[in-house]
Amino acid sequence: MADIRSVGVVGGGQMGSGIAQLAAVHGLEVWLHDSDAGVLTRAHQSISSRIQRLVSKGNLTKEKGAEAIRNLRCTSTLDDFCSVDIVIEAIVESEEVKKNLFAQLDKIVKSSAILASNTSSISITRLGSATNRSSQVIGMHFMNPPPVMKLVEIIRGANTSDKTFNTTKVLAERLGKKIICSQDFSGFVVNRILMPMINEAFHALYTGVASKEDIDAGMKLGTNHPMGPLELADHIGLDVCLSILKVLHSGLGDNKYTPCPLLVQYVDAGRLGKKKGVGVYTYGKTRDEIKPSARL
């Protein structure tokens, strides 16, 4: 089985930067690309400071921390991905934009390289069809935040080979993750179940069943979820939640997945969640500045 030594990560947002951090800390050479230069700069800063934090808490030796930072290279050109063993794509949740990127990557990376997508919901089979290597295209779905959450959901497209699956599984396990496998149907396992709950929480808020604080406290204290569904939606990004619900709705053809109008309105208003400082709740710049109502 091919040994993965270098990883290209596309997208330096919350998922891409977390995946890049995880790979660098586990001794892989990492190239990180984003189409927005400002995002790349911020990603490098936040990854470096998270690695320093791991060192200062004694979770990583000073040497391993320095090595992890050396392992990470940010690039504004995808051509630097020509020698990577696997690409993990973590850009916006849009089938059209992802397909364009996969077609581009197919021409740049070496013939043996795997193209993995961190998509939350989009068909891996269709992403594979945008390339001439559909047997080497796979879903590698990390959870947010990738350095902390224990799961990677692996999704095989219709043409994904056993070799691609096995190499991806070994990589996920090397990164310290447990894996589950899903068939290639919209939303896979986790979001097929999670997004209807989040959508229902928006409906409860929209129809005045309870306040946002009580909805979240109900699920947090009543069912032992670490975050209430509305706080979790802010954590994921309301734009990401809306995109996933649209894929579930169109892909599975059931009106139960129709996005709640309140969620749609928040996204239209630019209230995208914690990453924008405002979503269902309002957030300050630091962890301590998160409004009390958001931290039940």
Which of 33, 212 has the CB closer to ligand NAD? 33
292 binds ligand CAA, rule: CB under 6 A: no
Q: Which of 26, 50, 174, 276 binds ligand CAA (CB under 6 A)?
A: 50
Of these partners, ligand NAD, ligand CAA, none, which one is at the site of residue 26 (CB under 5 to 8 Å by kind)?
Answer: none
Instruction: Specify whether 153 is catalytic.
Output: yes
60 in the Ramachandran plot: left (φ > 0), alpha (ψ -120 to 50) or beta?
Answer: beta
Q: Which of 232, 242, 263, 267 binds ligand CAA (CB under 6 A)?
A: 232
201-260: contacts with ligand NAD (CB under 6 A): 236-237, 240
36 binds ligand NAD, rule: CB under 6 A: yes
Residues 140 and 157: beta-carbon distance below 8 Å: no
Instruction: Specify whether 89 is catalytic.
Output: no
104-163: contacts with ligand CAA (CB under 6 A): 120, 143-145, 147-149
The DSSP line for 195-216 is HHHHHHHHHHHHTTSS-HHHHH
* Buried residues in 21-34 as b, exposed as e (16+ CB within 10 A): bbbbbbebbbbbbb
Which of 163, 276 has the CB closer to ligand NAD? 276
Residues 276 and 267: beta-carbon distance below 8 Å: no
Instruction: Specify whether 120 is catalytic.
Output: yes
Distance CA 179, CA 149 (A): 11
The alpha-helical segments, DSSP class H, found in the chain are: 14-25, 37-56, 62-71, 95-108, 124-129, 162-174, 190-206, 212-223, 229-236, 238-252, 261-268
CB of 110 to ligand CAA, least distance (A): 29
Residues belonging to the binding site for NAD(+) are 11-16, 34, 93, 98, 120, 144, 275
Q: Which residues bind ligand CAA (CB under 6 A)?
A: 18, 50, 57, 120, 143-145, 147-149, 190-191, 194, 226-227, 232, 236, 240, 287
